[in-house]
Copies of this chain bind each other. A is one copy, B any other.
Amino acid sequence: MLAIDENTITDAALAQMSETPNPRLKQIMAILVKHLHAFAREADLTPEEWLDGIKFLTAVGQTCTPYRQEFILLSDTLGLSSLINALHDRRAVEHGTKTSLVGPFYRQDSPHKELGECIAESNAGICIYGRVLNSAGQPIPGASIQIWQTDDEGVYDLQRHDPSHMDLRATFTADANGDYHLRTVRPLGYMIPLDGPVGDMIRAQRRHGYRPAHIHFMIGAPGYRELVTALYLRKDDHINSDTVFGVTDSLVTETVANDPGSPFRELPSIRFDFTLAAADAIGTGRVGADPSQITKRTASH
């Protein structure tokens, strides 16, 4: 019989899980138990603190609804979602544009538009253009480019209207040269929802809770790894302190006035070329159709 103490309990737990038939589940749970116990040991967690943690996690779970995923928000604000994306990028067989958080406002049924069209009901304020390339720098003709973003007040269509009313989202098809161009409004940054337990945590940590202005993209083509990413606007006050750690330097951009290369030279323009890595065994699936559905890539609010 084991003498269960702070040193033997981890091996006892691993032993009891050792008959798990699924090898990957067995591996993940063993690594989880090891690190979870190491956390409790290093923090020398008291029963009272442990109970506070139980209450917090319970509140996070009970804040979730079909239209709100507080556990994803928690994962985002702890940097875990961003880490999962970074690990996903590292597993790619080729170098491509970095992944960023998909967020909860994606929907796969956005309207198809012709290149050059405006995705906003309001007047276009900026142009975005560029190319979709493979890792050798060659164009990918006919690549699918889905885009979605907030309006100029930091609000998504799904937050402002019922789901039948779509705005600021569309699907484009790159031309024979892999080129794309479109018009939209300049998005505004916003605060993540702070009215739940994650908000309590953010306030207790004296964090501001803002995300910098960004534009989401999902880009795919047969034979390539689907890319879920976002472009971040450099002039945003919170570009260096995204509450959910979606910003990384290679995804930061800004509009340029009088860009001679822009198809809409009269508009402030962003040029961004996306690079798709070749497809691999994993990560080529599609995310869900419904904004309420948790998507397969890591989300933020």
Q: Are A58 and B47 also in contact (CB < 8 A) when A31-B39, A78-B33 are?
A: no
- Docked pose: A73 CA to B249 CA in angstroms: 42
- Is A286 part of the binding interface, using a Cβ–Cβ cutoff of 8 Å? no
Size class of the contact patch on chain A = 35 or more
CB-CB contacts below 8 Å: A222-260 with B? 239-241, 243, 245, 247-250, 252
A57 and chain B: residue at smallest CB distance = B71
Closest to A33 in B: B78
Residues A37 and B88 in contact, CB atoms below 8 Å apart: no
Within 8 Å of chain B (Cβ to Cβ): is A113?
A: no
A38 touches B40 (CB 8 A): no
What 1/0 flags go to A42-57 for Cβ under 8 Å of B?
1111111111001101
A residues 1-43 touching B (CB-CB < 8 Å): 1-6, 9-10, 12-13, 16-17, 19-22, 24-29, 31-43
Q: Tell whether, in the assembled complex, residue B6 and residue A86 are in contact, meaning their CB atoms are under 8 Å apart.
A: yes
Using A58-B61, A62-B64 as known contacts, say yes or no to A5 and B88 having CB atoms under 8 A apart: no
Q: Does chain B have a CB within 8 A of A75?
A: yes
* Known pairs A35-B42, A60-B61, A87-B41; A75 contacts B47 (CB<8 A): no
Task: Give, as a whole number of angstroms, the nearest-CB distance from A89 to chain B.
Answer: 8
| A69 within 8 A of partner (CB) | yes
Q: Report if A91 contacts B (CB, 8 A).
A: yes
Asked if A296 contacts B47 (CB within 8 A), the reply is yes
* A123 CB–B CB distance under 8 Å: no
Contact A16 B294 (CB under 8 A): no
A149 to B6, CA, bound (A): 26
Residues of B within 8 A of A64 (CB): 58, 61-62
Contact in complex: A39, B43 (CB < 8 Å): no
| Known A12-B245, A33-B78, A58-B61: A204·B86 in contact at CB below 8 Å | no
Contact of A27 among B4, B33, B38, B43 (CB under 8 A): B43
Are the CB atoms of A84 and B50 closer together than 8 Å? yes
- Using known A-B contacts A1-B247, A19-B205, A79-B9, determine if residue A294 contacts B43 with beta carbons closer than 8 Å: no
Query: How long is the Cα–Cα vector from A269 to B4 in the complex, in angstroms?
Result: 25
In the assembled complex, the Cα of A184 lies from the Cα of B292 at a distance in Å of: 54
Q: Which residues of B contact A62 (CB under 8 A)?
A: 61-62, 64
Asked if A192 is at the interface of the complex by the 8 Å CB criterion, the answer is no
- List 19 interface pairs A-B (beta carbons < 8 Å), by A numbering: A1-B239, A2-B240, A2-B248, A3-B250, A4-B245, A4-B248, A5-B86, A6-B83, A6-B87, A9-B86, A12-B79, A13-B245, A16-B243, A17-B205, A24-B49, A33-B79, A35-B35, A45-B84, A51-B296
